[in-house]
Structure 1
Amino acid sequence: MARLTSLLPRDEYTGFDDEALASQQTRIGRLDLEFIQPDRSLARNWERVGSVHDASYLLVFPLAGGVTFSQDGRTGLARSGEYVLLSELAFYELSPDKNTRLLMVRIPAAELRGRLVSIEDHVSRRFKPNEQMTRLLVGMIGSVAELFINSPPPNPQALATEIVSFIALTIGSEDRGAATDVRNARYHLRRRIVDFIETHLSDQSLSPKKIAASSRISLSYLYSLFNDNETTVSQFVQTKRLQRAYEILVADPKGHRTVSEVAYEVGFKNVSHFSRCFSRHFRVAPRDARQTHNASPHPTTDPRHAPPKGLLAPGVPSSPRGSLGSPYWERRSLHETA
Structure 2
Amino acid sequence: MASLTSLASREEFLDGDGDEGPAPHQRTRIGRLDLELVEPHQAFTRSWKRTSSILDASYVLVFPLTGCVAFSQDGRVAIARAGEYVLLSELASYELSSDKSARFLVLRIPAAELRGRLVSIEDHVSRRFKPNEQMTRLLAGMIGSVAELFIEFPAPNPQALATEVISFVALTIGSEDRGAATDVRNARYHLRRRIVDFIESHLGDQSLSPKKIAASSRISLSYLYSLFTDNETTVSQFVQTKRLQRAYEILVADPRGHRTVSEVAYEVGFKNVSHFSRCFSRHFKVAPRDVRQAPEAGSQPGANTRTAEPSGSSSPRTASSRRAFGSPYWDVNKQELRETV
Q: TM-score range by the shorter chain?
A: 0.7 to 0.9
1:177 to 171, 176, 179: 179
Gaps of 5+ in 1: 6-18, 299-311, 328-332
Number of residue pairs matched? 298
* Distance verdict in 2 for CA 1:146–1:42, change over 3 Å: same
> Could you tell me whether the CA contact under 8 Å between 1:68 and 1:95 is conserved in 2?
yes
One-letter amino acid of the counterpart of residue 48, structure 2: N
* Distance verdict in 2 for CA 1:206–1:4, change over 3 Å: farther
| Alpha-carbon distance in 1 for matches of 2:76, 2:202 | 38
1:286-310 Cα deviation digits (max 9, x unpaired): 1111115334238xxxxxxxxxxxx
| Alpha-carbon distance in 2 for matches of 1:144, 1:124 | 24
Q: 2:146 aligns to what?
A: 144
Q: 2:15 aligns to what?
A: none
> Could you tell me whether the CA contact under 8 Å between 1:69 and 1:92 is conserved in 2?
yes
2:304 to 308, 313, 323: 313
> Could you tell me whether the CA contact under 8 Å between 2:60 and 2:108 is conserved in 1?
yes
Q: 2:45 aligns to what?
A: 42
Q: 2:34 aligns to what?
A: 32
> Could you tell me whether the CA contact under 8 Å between 1:29 and 1:296 is conserved in 2?
no
| Alpha-carbon distance in 1 for matches of 2:295, 2:165 | 16
1:166 equivalent in alignment to 2:157: no
Q: 1:187 aligns to what?
A: 189
One-letter amino acid of the counterpart of residue 313, structure 1: N
One-letter amino acid of the counterpart of residue 49, structure 2: W
* Distance verdict in 2 for CA 1:32–1:20, change over 3 Å: farther
Q: 1:121 aligns to what?
A: 123
Offset, 1:52? 1.3
TM-score (norm 1): 0.83
TM-score (norm 2): 0.82
Residue 201 of structure 1 aligns to a residue whose secondary structure is coil
Identity %: 75
| Alpha-carbon distance in 2 for matches of 1:186, 1:267 | 27
> Could you tell me whether the CA contact under 8 Å between 1:282 and 1:297 is conserved in 2?
no
Residue 83 of structure 2 aligns to a residue whose secondary structure is coil
Offset, 1:263? 0.5
Cα RMSD for the two superposed structures:
2.3
| Alpha-carbon distance in 2 for matches of 1:112, 1:286 | 21
Q: 2:333 aligns to what?
A: none
- After TM superposition, the structure 1 = structure 2 runs for residues 1-338 of structure 1, keeping only pairs within 5 Å, are 3=8, 22-37=24-39, 39-47=42-50, 49-177=51-179, 180=182, 182-291=184-293, 293-294=295-296, 295-297=299-301, 313-314=304-305, 325=311, 334-335=339-340
> Could you tell me whether the CA contact under 8 Å between 1:69 and 1:95 is conserved in 2?
yes
| Alpha-carbon distance in 2 for matches of 1:283, 1:179 | 38
| Alpha-carbon distance in 1 for matches of 2:181, 2:238 | 29
1:91-117 Cα deviation digits (max 9, x unpaired): 111121331011000000011000000
| Alpha-carbon distance in 1 for matches of 2:244, 2:102 | 39
